[in-house]
Structure 1
Amino acid sequence: MAQQHRTDHLLDRVGPRLRATRTARGLTLADVSEGTGISRSTLSRLESGKRRPSLDLLLPLAELFRVSLDDLVGSPGTGDPRIDIRPLTRGGVVHLDLGGEGPVSAHKTVIPGTRRPQDRVPDMRSHPGREWIYVLAGTLRLVLDGHEYTVEPGESAEFDCTLPHWFGAGGPQAVEYLGLSSRSGERVHLNATVPDPSESA
């Protein structure tokens, strides 16, 4: 009876974990549906808890998100503190989920360099939460709510993700940066190097 209760509790947590994993990767339900063959209505019911997850649904989701099945469902860990990092590549951009439980998750992103950065048309996106980034290498081109900034190695930036934003390379060298994402919208760093757009309007 106790084991069944633990199983039910674990399955009840899968929906929110699926939604958090998807949004942390910047994917829509349509993106996930295309990548897994699972209908958007089924995915929506899984995330809302209206449908119980099954192995035939969880396996393609774990493969798309590049996480283990245990990580996807949040099963108890074995005590090994190491994180199994599996790169996810979309459009030449490499994303590495560095882990993180609760309201804040960590990730590393590598964006290919370009010799003509101004030719890249920003694909602006917005979503709930707050983002803090720290550039490791290359020049990051950040377009935020109609304003453009460059963030150099050793510099950081923080902003509200509900503002339309886009990241790109600011030169021929690939850009590498670390990021902390707060899904709840809470600040994840004390200072931001990106000014408030309203101040420069």
Structure 2
Amino acid sequence: MGLHDEVGRRLKALRRARGLSLSELARRSGVGKGTLSELEGGLRNPTLETLYALTTALDSPLSAVLGDPPPGVREGTGGVSGSAVTAVLLERYEDVDAATDVFRVTIAGGATQDSAAHVPRTTESLMVLSGTAVVGLPDAPQTVSPGGHAHWRADAPHRYAAPHGDVHGILFVRYPKADTL
């Protein structure tokens, strides 16, 4: 079973657990009903932007549809890509207050990716391993060099850019639990 099959199966189960029809999830997420149906059926590879739109509409972290990272995960395996960012889930940590997803990310050199807002009170932190990233809120971008880090609200539209070549880093996405909102 490939990544898109597993994501489709998990997405469908999560939608059903929330009591939503395909049409309602499509409306809430802004993802076309046909696209959603193909994703759930494992017939289409999801983009990072599409998965975030769907999981945000389902009040769930991205890892809810990606599942647990495989043992010994390596860069370039099991990742999901957006217009500029490729993310590989490394870890999911959950406590009583929040779930935190840890990703190994690559931001493609010369590219920019605008991400939609996630669920309320979600935050993101990026530690840059190599390259120089420009990340965070569009009206308050943060430039981060190797060894540095940035932290921003992810419940508002935010951006990832690598103006001078590929950026490699570790991204932490912290989602509050619904009952702690």
With normalisation by structure 1, the TM-score equals: 0.51
Q: Determine which structure has more spread, i.e. the larger CA radius of gyration.
A: 1
Question: Are 2:86 and 1:104 aligned?
Answer: no
Question: Are 2:95 and 1:95 aligned?
Answer: no
Gaps (5+ residues) in structure 2? 1-9, 19-28, 49-63
Aligned length: 133
For 2:137 and 2:115, the matched residues in 1 are separated by 8
Q: Quote how far apart the aligned CAs of 1:148 are.
A: 2.2
Deviations 1:102-155 (A, max 9, x none): 2111111111212xx7xx6x6353212111110011100124151222111100
Question: Are 2:118 and 1:127 aligned?
Answer: yes
State whether residues 47 and 82 of structure 2, in contact with CA within 8 Å, keep that contact through their aligned partners in structure 1: no
With normalisation by structure 2, the TM-score equals: 0.55
For 2:101 and 2:44, the matched residues in 1 are separated by 18
Question: Are 2:35 and 1:30 aligned?
Answer: no
| Structure with greater strand percent | 2
Gaps (5+ residues) in structure 1? 1-10, 20-27, 39-56, 186-201
Amino acid of the structure 1 residue aligned with 2:157: P
In structure 2, the residue matched to 1:60 is: 42
State whether residues 66 and 89 of structure 2, in contact with CA within 8 Å, keep that contact through their aligned partners in structure 1: no
The counterpart of 2:168, out of the listed 176, 193, 198, is 176
CA RMSD in angstroms, aligned pairs only: 4.1
Amino acid of the structure 1 residue aligned with 2:155: T
